[in-house]
Amino acid sequence: MALLSFSRSFTLLSSPFHFFSPRSIRRRRSFVCSLSAATDVRSRSAVLWFKHDLRLDDHPALSAAETHRFVLPLYVFDRRILSRYSDDMLELLLFALEDLRKSLKEQGSNLMIRYGCAENVIKELVKEVKATDVFIEEEVEYEMRQLIGVVKKTLETSSSLDWNLDIVMWRTPFYDVKNLKELPASYNDFKKQKLIPTSPLFPVTLPVAETELDWGPLPTFSDLKEFIKEKLGKSKESWNLMKEMPAEVLLKENLSKSFGTIPKSLNDKSIEQRRLDKSVFVTRKGDVVGGGTNTLLNALAAYLRYLEGTARDDWQEVHERLRNAETREGASFTSLFGPALCLGIISRRRVHYEAIKYEKERNAGFLSPFGYSAASVAAAADAVCSMELILGAVVLALKSQVSNEGLYSIRIWRWRGHLIQYTVVGLEGPAILLVHGFGAFLEHYRDNINAIAKHGNHVWGITLLGFGQSEKPNFVYTELLWAEMLRDFIIEVVGEPVHLVGNSIGGYFVSIVASVWPSLVKSVILMNTAGNVIPEFSSRRFPSKTNRADDWLINEMLRASYDPGVTVVLESIFSFDLSIPLNYPLEGYEEKVLILQGMKDPLLDSKAKLAMLKEHCTGLAIRELDAGHCPHDEQPQKVNSIVCEWVVAVERKLTANSYS
């Protein structure tokens, strides 16, 4: 535990991986008592801000706060948080809050509901109840960290508080790692340490409120949607609507209009699912588990016991959804439980605890060194352990704040519940988004990001889901999945139309984005892009300037290749059906597409590829380079210059057209 000095004291309780066990809870209580010798902890009151921890079970902050005279549980409907959620997540949120409030009421407490900016809401409540502590869960997402920073600054600088206020940051530990730097970057090295997950905490009873308070009403779903829209401009609202329409649906419509046929990969029929009256699948789509913590634990019990069969209707429903979601072995767990884990309705270590508990029940109290006896147990345990390892890498990156290669900060964006690394350099100018190829990550643009930004551009780089140090969940990866991810990144993070730059398979992804959501894209730059011009033609990826494949790049690629979940990603490259010819997505982008082609790509006939592009695509600008498959890495100065000149030219045309 460490006490950092602020104008009002700010307490960071332990490292992100070593926090509250029953023993450390006792240490926390002793620590709180020692903050001020003159103040008995039972005379203190606290505000506990719920965000992505919507549970009473395994909640370290609740356990630490229970000795206070009064604890005010709070949820703030803040548009900056809510605007990141899909409609499904908003539905899950409302069900979880309803259950959380019910559970607190059963204890004699309640959940306060407020609307507005979190910093203002919390400041006013601290004054109203004369709180001496504010408990806030740590976050890794950049936008959430910024928001928490605003809350802390508002409380620290508030002149209306004439007493000492402690801001207590907390996190639920998974592994008992005292020093974060001891956590190895390699998954193989990590496995050798044989770390044991910490045990979850059971619910505590909070002290009953002694004063009358206005606890506030929970909104309906439609009211919540209206609240979120209130301060959105029309353009922002229309962009948010794009996220609700899957790329597959739009492509089906467009392709059927253009060609009269739909590629086989886009023509799969969805599976109809039955839904019970008292269902754990609470959203309108009915494809993920939701509700409160007890509902989640019941659904988890059903999931783990899939092999046993059951006469219970609710468990049979879970088994049915499991079968429908099991597109590959183990994929069903993330599909069914991922959103609830994201909202913190159930903790990762509770999932692990229940999975191991059941595994021991199946094996007379023992765990086999040869693996789990049930696929459902393996899916649950492996999923949460994998999430925690990625989180460890994320926290390490945030601690250093700067990438190992290049002077740019690493930020985190959460997409559909999964942690994604990205960076941004430059404060103004045209937005440029750099997308890497298969097996790479944002640092593959290590010699491009800053150089392009110095020419007056706002440069973004992203590590796609499944690569580098972004999360690698177990599900089926497709080109449309990654295209939707890029779409959402532009809408949620960049916030303006971009010039899209893609290398290899990344070029194919950005061409799909440009085709399906043209309002998000100003121009497209494809470097040795994957994808066919005619169905029989495909590209492959290799360098010609081998010295650019230095030790750091090779080691990072090797490190990522051992991460849990990477097998699924590697398999995806062999199952891709690149049936959408490049001439289709590039249609309508005349004079807005630049092809940068490394002519020494050893396993690709670059001359033939360019000939096909010229024949089937109109209005392309083409630059041939003395490079292999990754021109931006092999000849960064040349590529940087070309990209900057191209962006300037396109921006001039866009400006001229806007005045014409």
Tell me the three-class secondary structure of 215-266, residue by residue: CCCCCCHHHHHHHHHCCCCHHHHHHHHHCCCCHHHHHHHHHHHHHCCCCHHH
Tell which residue, 137, 172, 169, 553, has the closest CA to residue 387: 172
The answer to whether the beta carbons of residues 61 and 99 sit under 8 Å apart is no
Positive or negative torsion for Cα 56, 57, 61, 67: positive
Give yes or no for residue 407 having a pLDDT over 80. no
Q: From residue 306, give the alpha-carbon distance in Å to each of 333, 374, 491.
A: 12, 9, 39
* SS3 label, residue 297: helix
- pLDDT range class, residue 28, cuts 50, 70, 90: very low
Mean pLDDT across the stretch 336-359? Answer: 96
Cα angle 94, 96, 100 (rounded to 5 degrees) comes to 115
Residue 204 CB: number of other CB atoms within 10 A? 17
Three-state SS for 648?
A: helix
Answer whether residue 535 shows pLDDT above 70: no
Tell me the C-alpha to C-alpha distance, in Å, between residue 341 and each of 93, 393, 649.
12, 19, 46
Residues ≥6 apart with Cβ < 8 Å to 339? 88, 89, 92, 288, 289, 290, 417
In this prediction, residues 410-433 reach a mean pLDDT of 94
Distance CA 596, CA 503 (A): 9
Which has more pLDDT, 319 or 173?
319
CB 610 within 8 A of CB 526: no
How confident is residue 24, by pLDDT bands cut at 50, 70 and 90?
Answer: very low
Phi/psi at 273 (5° precision): -125, 140
pLDDT at residue 339 greater than cutoff 50? yes
Coil, strand or helix at 535: coil
What pLDDT is recorded for position 551? 58
Give the amino acid at 466: G
3-state DSSP call for residue 286? coil
Q: Please give the residue that has the higher pLDDT: either 66 or 268.
A: 66
- Asked which of 261-265, 311-315, 408-412, 535-539 is least confident by mean pLDDT, the reply is 535-539
pLDDT given at position 251: 78
**Greatest distance between any 2 Cα atoms in the chain:** 83
With 50 as the cut, is the pLDDT of residue 23 above it? no
Cα–chain center distance at 290:
19
Contact in structure between 18 and 173 (CB atoms under 8 Å): yes
Rounded CA gap, 92 and 281, in Å?
A: 9
- Return the structure tokens found at 241: 């609507």
Higher pLDDT, 9 or 354: 354
Q: What domains, with CATH codes, occur in the chain?
A: 41-171 (3.40.50.620), 191-203+281-404 (no CATH), 406-659 (3.40.50.1820)
**With contact defined as beta carbons under 8 Å apart, do 538 and 581 qualify?**
no
Instruction: Work out whether strand 411-415 and strand 166-170 pair parallel, antiparallel, or are unpaired.
Output: unpaired
Q: CA quadruple 560, 566, 572, 573: dihedral positive or negative?
A: positive
H or E stretch including 658? helix 636-659
pLDDT of 370 reads 87
Residue from 470, 472, 485 nearest 394 by CA: 470
| pLDDT of 473 over the 60 cut | yes
More confident residue, 259 or 531: 531
Decide if pLDDT at 242 tops 60. yes
Beta-bridged to residue 451, according to DSSP, are none
Among 27-41, 510-524, 576-590, name the most confident range. Answer: 510-524
- pTM of structure: 0.85
How much is the mean pLDDT over the chain? 83
Residue 553 has pLDDT above 90, yes or no: no
The pair of three-digit structure tokens given for residue 542, joined into one six-digit string: 């290799």
- pLDDT reading at 113 higher than 60: yes
Query: How far apart, in whole angstroms, are the C-alpha atoms of residue 639 and residue 628?
Result: 13
pLDDT at 225: 92
pLDDT at 167: 95
- Ramachandran class of 330: left when φ > 0, alpha when ψ lies in -120 to 50, beta otherwise: left
State pLDDT tens for residues 385-398. Answer: 888 877 776 766 66
Phi, psi of 15 (to 5 degrees): -80, 165
